[in-house]
Structure 1
Amino acid sequence: MLKPIQPQSSPHYRGRFAPTPSGPLHFGSLVAALGSFLDARAHLGKWLVRIEDVDKTRAVAEADRQILDQLEAHGLVWDEPVIYQSQRDTTYADVLDSILEHTYACDCSRKQIRAHGHYYNGHCRTRQPRPAPYAIRFKNDNPHTHLFDRRHQRVEAEIEFAQEDFILRRRDGLFAYQLAVVVDDLEQGITDIVRGSDLLIPSFWQATLWQTLGGCTPRWLHLPLVTGVDGRKLSKQNHAPAIDSTQAIANLAAAAEVLSLHIGSAKDYDSVDSLLEAAVQQWQSQWQMIV
């Protein structure tokens, strides 16, 4: 029988911001951080920060410290100790062991998968056991095919994507983001996930896994993405520049504008705290829920 993860006792609202330490925060990351922070403060909830370094190959030395310093400089202060996914391999392994009946080994290469179509077709489900090295896939027998997002409303998944048997542990032995993020959110008692819209589609897999692990799915709010002049999402991979913490008030005012908050310009504020107070009030008028 599946042993559910026991979430910590939590108040009515617990949110989080979970950056990857592959470099310092850029403006798009600040928008996501600000949105999640404001939603937590508007609902008198807790706001947590988690360093999502489960993919140890992407972590850049000292980037985590840079990110935390940037958040503090912008007044985005977290309420509980920061946790690091790279320190939680034992937890992820224990959870994976507890759901063995929902998983199987897969040694298919990316080339082999592409040869059979855009999505993985479950080729290894009936080919057990498989020789190492292999990935561990989730038997996606009861997929979530729709979810409700506070901004996007009812969202329907592409059925083939929603039904795909996704990876929980990679061939190289690293745990997959999909597993780590759900395990962490459950254990930290996260009730609300506010993040960029680039993560809306993976939410279907996460909701499926969340339910399998014995928890109630969170409320979702996926924010507008910030794009560059070339139309691509601002990201570290696209060499987005780091935000300048000496310009924190101006940065926050610009981020609030992306979030459609009407708080005036940076020159109207003499501190990040006064700007954040105004932003929280604006957020309450647009996004406050009864929780």
Structure 2
Amino acid sequence: MSTTAVNAPMRTYRGRFAPSPSGPLHFGSLIAAVGSFLDAKSNQGKWLVRIEDIDTTRVVPGASDDILRTLEAYGLHWDEGVIYQTKRHTEYQAVVDALITKNLVYACHCTRKEIKAMGGIYQGYCKSKHHPLNDSALRLTQQFATSEYHDLIQGQVNIDSRLAKEDYLIKRSDGLFAYQLVVVVDDIAQGISHVVRGADLLEPTARQLSLFKQLGQPAPNYAHLPLAVAKPGFKLSKQNYAPAISKRAPKPALFDAFRFLGLNPEPALLSSTVEEMLNWAISAYRIENIPTALEIQVSENPHATFCDFQVITK
């Protein structure tokens, strides 16, 4: 089943899973890994892995290797070498320099507290201040504000037009490159055609689409999976201390991931090997069967082998 958006030019399918090494993989991140893997493989595409370690303040030592070992334990084998963002500073700076040359970047000295006091959306306060670019946060002048786009799972997505027009950060005052910049530069470099990830990134996607236009490059097709949450509005995450998934016994969590993604596996599948389970899932996968909810509550059922799922309506 093709997941190419209507009227989009045909491109060789190249998908990716891009975890941040801030801790071990949990069930929520497994959903993103399995969802992106199945979408790629069911479309005879490549599946890549990128370690998004650009924010070094959040990196946990050893987490990158642990993530890769976990993916291998779940049979999720990547097709090309793993990319690490911390090894790509030269590429990111080259893009920033090119934007500076075009007079599209300016220095900003506003703090988060000050921006919040001004209404929470940056209004270009520093644009006319002409602060020196050195030792400053750098903002990109927004030229292609994107307030709506089509998502392959969630359908029509609409973003606050004020937020869409915001000049956003591409480099922080501490010298770290911003996520919005590096994710687009990496997707371009890797030729990513499809991005399958969690619905918490629906809003940032609009900015990323605008940056693809600003850089004159084709954007991927986007598909945002429901978030696995412990309760409404409380997603499973490393910051929320979601438990790590087991590397020693991967089949139960893999089975639950299939259920979460709308595949309806039979319990007998658990008697198969991990590889056989994945082969079955690739054949059974249909993107249109994934719930279009933004959140699905996940809870342990003490009277059952598997998790309970409750779709939270939009």
Structure-2-length-normalised TM-score: 0.85
Distance in 2 separating the partners of 1:285 and 1:127: 48
> Are the equivalent residues in 1 in contact too, given 2:106–2:133 (CA < 8 A)?
no
Q: Which residue does 1:282 correspond to in 2? A: 284
The code of the aligned residue for 1:60 comes to V
Q: 2:224 maps to what in 1?
A: 222
Q: In structure 1, what residue type is equivalent to 2:37? A: F
1:190 — aligned with what? 192
Q: Which residue of structure 1 lines up, in the alignment, with residue 87 of structure 2?
A: 87
Contact persistence 2:153–2:287 (CA under 8 A): no
Question: Is it true that 1:19 corresponds to 2:19 in the alignment?
Answer: yes
Q: Which residue of 2 aligns with 1:246?
A: 248
CA distance change for structure 1 residues 192 and 131 in 2, over 3 Å: closer, same or farther?
closer
The offset of 1:230, in angstroms, is 6.6
Task: Give the percent of matched residue pairs that are identical in Structure 1 and Structure 2.
Answer: 46
**Structure 2 partner of 1:4:** none
Q: CA deviation at 1:40?
A: 0.4
Q: CA deviation at 1:282?
A: 1.5
Letter in 1 for 2:121: Y
Structure 1 residue 224: Cα displacement: 0.7
Of 124-133 and 92-101, deviating more is 124-133
Distance 1:266 1:85 in 2: 41
Residue pair 1:107, 1:133 contacting (<8 A) in 2 also:
no
The Cα offsets for residues 112-160 of structure 1, whole Å up to 9 and x where unpaired, read as 2122111111101111034753100011132111111011111111111
Change (3 A) 1:131 1:275: closer
Gap runs ≥5 in structure 2: 1-9, 290-314
Structure number with the bigger relative contact order (C-alpha 8 A, sep ≥ 6) is 1
Map 1:143-182 to 2 at 5 A: 143-182=145-184
* Deviating more after overlay: 137-146 vs 71-80: 137-146
The CA distance in 1 between the partners of 2:105 and 2:63, in whole Å, is: 34
Letter in 2 for 1:56: T
Deviation, structure 1 residue 266:
6.2
Whichever residue aligns with residue 204 of structure 2, its letter is P
Structure 1 Cα separation of the partners of residues 86 and 219 of structure 2: 24
Letter paired with 2:198: G
- Following superposition, the deviation at residue 249 of structure 1 comes to 1.0
Q: Distance in 2 between matches of 1:40 and 1:52?
A: 20
Q: Which amino acid aligns with 1:240?
A: A
**2:77 matched to 1:77?**
yes
* Contact preservation (8 Å) 1:71, 1:77: yes
Structure 2 residue matching 1:242: 3-state secondary structure: coil
Alpha-carbon shift at residue 237 of structure 1 (Å) = 0.4
Displacement of 1:257: 0.9
Counterparts of 2:288 and 2:122, CA distance in 1:
40
8 Å CA contact 1:253, 1:266 repeated in 2? no
Q: After alignment, is 28-37 or 130-139 more displaced?
A: 130-139
Aligned counterpart, 1:263 = 265
Q: Decide whether the 8 Å contact of 1:107 with 1:132 is kept in 2.
A: no
1:205 aligns to what?
207
- 1:37-65, Cα deviation, whole Å (9 max, x unpaired): 00000000000000000001111111000
Measure, in 2, the Cα distance between the counterparts of 1:94 and 1:285.
37
Deviation at 1:286, TM superposition (A): 4.0
Find the aligned partners of 2:31 and 2:124 in 1 and give their Cα distance.
38
Amino acid of the residue matched to residue 214 of structure 2?
Answer: T
Q: Does 1:52 pair with 2:52?
A: yes
* Equivalent residue letter for 2:120: H
Q: How big is each residue's C-alpha offset from its partner over 1:12-51, in whole Å with a ceiling of 9 and x where there is no partner?
A: 1000000000001000000000000000000000000000
Aligned residues: 279
Are the aligned partners of 2:144 and 2:211 in contact in 1 as well (CA < 8 Å)?
no
CA distance in 2, matches of 1:230, 1:106: 35
- Structure 1 residue identity aligned to 2:157: V
RMSD over aligned CA atoms reads 1.8
Deviates further, 209-218 or 168-177: 209-218
